[in-house]
Amino acid sequence: MEFTELADYAIPAGTITEWIPSVGPHASTPALAGWQPDERPTSYVHEAHLRASLASPRRGRESWLGAAFQMRGPLDKPAFRRAVLAWIDRHESMRSHAVIDEEAGVLSRVTAATGAIDIWQVEQERCEQSSEVFEHLQYLFDEYTSPLAWPAYAFVTLEPLPTEPTESTETITVFFAADHSIIDGLSTVLVAHEISALYAEAKDGTPSALFEAGSYLDFGVSERRIHAELENTHDAVVTWKRFLDEGDGELPSFPLEIGAPNGATTPQGGLSAWILDADRADAFSVACRKTGNSLFSGLLAGLAVAGAELTGRTDFRTVTPVHTRDQPQWASSLGWFVGLCPLSFDIADAESFGAVVAKATEQVTTTKPIARVPLDRVFRALGSTATPRFVVSFMDVRFAPMAEHWHDWNARALRSKQYDHDVYIWVNRTPRGVNIAARYPNTELATANVHQYVGALRRILDEVVDTGTAALPSRTGPIATNQ
């Protein structure tokens, strides 16, 4: 599944219906009406996001993730409404709202009971141009997914215009967006399957057969209990302090120049490319496994070699997200189940590409466990305000529910515009192959260098797939991957 901005998704002209959750006296019983006080805290990352949103001029605007996918039409609106309501009842985080008092700085939460949610079904005028649909969706998601208000998410269905007066619409497109505080990348992958399954159940009686999902609110309670006390001698604190000291108190930046910040009002640029098809992804994975390592380590090795080729620097430093869904009940949950771990290794003394892959594996194995300790908690202990500037994310989603149908569904994960001076790279292995997406400052220098970096990575991966070897920057001949 590709991960891009909404502007990169092929949106047809058509008729929009907005599906906006609401809480009120419509509930089935008086006891269910309205919000109920909830003493459960947020996760650490949710609280950090709320505080950052309060301090930002954008107030949480444009910090959303989402999904787009297609279903067979025509749209059965009563069935879709029942599907969305069932989905909201399934995920407690979608009927809960946390706030921070701006004067006192105190965090509080309210939660609505199962069955307390209704849906505002807002029918819009038909859009004769696809650009009208895009502009409407972009505005709706940017303005109505703030973590500072509920709901911080919305659904939209799009019924395309028939080309003939008597033609029925055979395909509908579903769009979803939610603030990052309540979903992560894997959550967006789950949405298409769950809504499609619940819609089929509501429409035709086909059992959705969804696994039970734990509550992200309970995860926050567990996380707070586990990490309430964090000594400066804790492995996570020691490792992050060393990593920060190596960067003079800052987190690593992109290996190539990206220029000076271009202002807070200029959105970033982005790219998405399929760098390996399914067969070549398997071949690259086999090459990595022959060295006793994983495809992810091979990708990190490729990035390290690409950076060394283009800059002459042999040290590779980045930050990578790691999921924290460490219990079975979180597997199907929606929430921000993500920690960060630092990666740093030097390839100067590597005798082969396989040795570089081994260095990457050693670093991942060493630092991955500390990702379970929330970064905000660690940085609070260290007194650091550093923010990620170069992030490399990897997800293997080949075995996500219904992943084999994503291509047929035209399914895609979406992200909002960003305005930061940083570089994020996402690598997703899917049934179709390996996709790489990136966002970066929208400057000529940054655009050229990020594309050059991704191009170098692609060439290195192709070299390994085609020959089983990869030449290191200081070598004149190919180096066997399994040496």
Instruction: Give the confidence band of 32 by pLDDT, cuts at 50, 70, 90.
Output: low
E strand or H helix at 461, and its extent? helix 444-467
Q: Which CA distances in Å does 15 have to 9, 117, 158, 337, 434? A: 17, 25, 6, 35, 34
Q: What's the pLDDT tens digit per position in 296-329?
A: 999 999 999 999 999 999 999 999 999 999 899 9
Contact between 356 and 483 under an 8 Å Cβ cutoff? The reply is no
- Please name each of the domains of the chain with its CATH number: 3-222 (3.30.559.10), 231-405+416-467 (3.30.559.30)
Please determine, for residue 421, whether its predicted confidence score (pLDDT) is greater than 90.
yes
Angle at 192 between CA 402 and CA 336, to 5 degrees: 105
* Cβ atoms 406, 192 nearer than 8 A: yes
Would you place residue 112 in the very low, low, confident or very high pLDDT band (cuts 50, 70, 90)? very high
On the question of pLDDT at 128 being above 70, the answer is yes
What is the layout of strands, in order, in the sheet containing 153-160? 3-5, 412-415, 64-72, 171-179, 153-160, 14-23, 117-123
By CB neighbour count within 10 A (0-12 exposed, 13-18 middle, 19+ buried), where does 283 fall?
A: middle
Distance CA 194, CA 402 (A): 10
Residue 211, number of CB atoms within 10 A of its CB: 11
Q: Given pLDDT bands bounded at 50, 70 and 90, which one contains residue 219?
A: very high
Most confident of 22-31, 35-44, 228-237: 35-44
Confidence of residue 362 (pLDDT cuts 50, 70, 90): very high
Residue-level pLDDT at 31: 58
- Rounded Cα distance between 80 and 339, Å, is 34
pLDDT given at position 62: 87
In angstroms, the CA 339 to CA 342 distance is 10
pLDDT > 90 in the chain, percent: 86
Q: Provide the 10 A C-beta neighbour count for residue 123.
A: 10
CA–centroid distance for 31 within its chain: 37
Average pLDDT over residues 208-235: 94
Weakest-pLDDT range from 212-221, 271-280, 474-483: 474-483
User: Over 80: is that where the pLDDT of 78 sits?
Assistant: yes
Cβ neighbours of 403 (radius 10 Å): 18
User: Are residues 403 and 252 in contact, defined by beta-carbon separation less than 8 angstroms?
Assistant: no
C-alpha to C-alpha distance for 394 and 387, rounded to whole angstroms: 19
**Alpha helices of 290-403 — where are they, by DSSP H?**
295-311, 353-367, 375-382
Band the pLDDT of 67: cuts 50, 70, 90.
Answer: very high
Please tell me the least confidently modeled range out of 157-171, 204-218, 309-323. Answer: 157-171
| pLDDT score recorded for residue 483 | 37
Write the pLDDT tens digit of every residue in 240-297.
999 999 999 999 999 999 998 877 778 999 999 999 999 999 999 999 999 899 999 9
Residue with tokens 């208000």: 149
Q: Mean pLDDT across the stretch 442-449?
A: 96
By residue count, the chain amounts to 483
For residue 152, CA distances in Å to 4, 6, 63, 245, 430 come to 20, 18, 10, 37, 28
Q: Is it true that the peptide bond before 267 is cis, omega within 30 degrees of 0?
A: no
Q: What is the mean pLDDT of residues 346-353?
A: 94
pLDDT mean over 195-201: 98
pLDDT score, position 26: 58
pTM > 0.75: yes or no: yes
In the block, residue with structure tokens 């035709």: 204
Q: Which residue has the tokens 């066997």?
A: 480
- What is the mean pLDDT of the segment spanning 353-364? 96
The mean of the pLDDT values for the chain is 92
Q: Say if residues 66 and 175 touch (Cβ distance below 8 Å).
A: yes
Confidence (pLDDT) at 121: 95
Q: How would residue 164 be classed by pLDDT, with cut points 50, 70 and 90?
A: low
The more confidently predicted of residues 231 and 86 is 86
Q: In the beta sheet, which residues pair with residue 212?
A: none
CA-based nearest residue to 414, from 195, 169, 134, 43: 134
* pLDDT over threshold 60, residue 482: no
